[in-house]
Amino acid sequence: MGTEALKTPYLRGLKDGVPIGLGYFAVAFSLGIAARAASLTALEGFLASLFTSASAGEFAVFSLIAAAGTLPETALMSLIVNARYLLMSCVLTQKLEPGTRLWQRLLLGFGVTDEIFAVSAAQPGRLDVRYSFGAMTAAIPLWAAGTAAGVITGNLLPVRAVSALGVSLFGMFLAVIFGEARKNRTVLGVIVASAAVSWGFRSLPLPAFFSDSMKTMILTVGLAALAAWIFPRKGEEEDE
């Protein structure tokens, strides 16, 4: 693919989304094993990942299905665990070009994942939504295909191998955020502060009803609000 072709936002997003998708495919094997434990078929696992694209949310839902959970419990769990994507979508709307249409915003919100959010937010200047669409095109189908492959292979892979594959996704995400932190001291400060506060929060003797997902939500909302207050993003008039 030539240099001129990569100047197209969609193709640049497609190129950046390929390594994300490869990481997704590997990690989704373990998700597929959880889906099989919940008696889902390969097609059902594929569709679940294609229309959800949330590792923690899908793990929680598959666990509830395996435990014969009710539909209200499943819906509430999905809302709580995946609520952080609402915040990510709101952040990306601040970067979108003013002429971005409503259906494009809705589609972007539907396909936001942690890694797609990271590469989209790291784009310099205004975000062309076609870049995010390109990243989604490469990453999300591979995530769904990995889940289906995990269902098919079942428990053939050793537990240690599955755990090792799970580390690759976190390493990929760290590579994305630290790449931006090297160029922006504000981002670096937020990352360091977030890690320190998260460690301290997890070490506190909190009541039992503070589950891991609730702790994640409290920290996400609190740290994001604090960072937005201390380092506000300039408006369009100030940018001009």
**pLDDT tens by residue, the chain, 240 residues:** 444 445 689 999 999 999 999 888 888 887 888 888 788 999 999 999 999 888 777 887 887 888 777 788 778 778 877 888 888 888 898 889 888 899 999 999 999 998 899 899 888 889 999 999 999 999 999 999 999 998 888 767 666 666 666 565 566 667 767 777 787 888 888 888 888 888 887 777 776 566 665 676 677 777 777 877 887 766 544 444
188 and 81 share one domain: no
Does residue 189 fall inside a structural domain? yes
Which of 134, 169, 204 is where one domain is finished?
Answer: 169
pLDDT at 15: 92
pLDDT at 211: 65
pLDDT at 26: 81
Q: How many domains does the chain have?
A: 2
pLDDT at 136: 95
20 and 128 share one domain: yes
Does residue 107 fall inside a structural domain? yes
pLDDT at 213: 57
144 and 41 share one domain: yes
Does residue 80 fall inside a structural domain? yes
Does residue 125 fall inside a structural domain? yes
Q: Which residues span the domain enclosing 69? A: 7-169
Closest Cα to residue 143, out of 22, 33, 34?
Answer: 22
Does residue 46 fall inside a structural domain? yes
20 and 137 share one domain: yes
143 and 213 share one domain: no
207 and 148 share one domain: no
Residue by residue, what is the 3-state secondary structure of the chain?
CCCCHHHCHHHHHHHHHHHHHHHHHHHHHHHHHHHHHCCCCHHHHHHHHHHHCCHHHHHHHHHHHHCCCCHHHHHHHHHHHCCHHHHHHHHHHCCECCCCCHHHHHHHHHHCCHHHHHHHHCCCCCECHHHHHHHHHHHHHHHHHHHHHHHHHHHHCCHHHHHHHHHHHHHHHHHHHHHHHCCCHHHHHHHHHHHHHHHHHHHCCCCCCCCHHHHHHHHHHHHHHHHHHHCCCCCHHHHC
Does residue 211 fall inside a structural domain? yes
131 and 192 share one domain: no
66 and 123 share one domain: yes
pLDDT at 64: 80
Does residue 2 fall inside a structural domain? no
Does residue 153 fall inside a structural domain? yes
162 and 192 share one domain: no
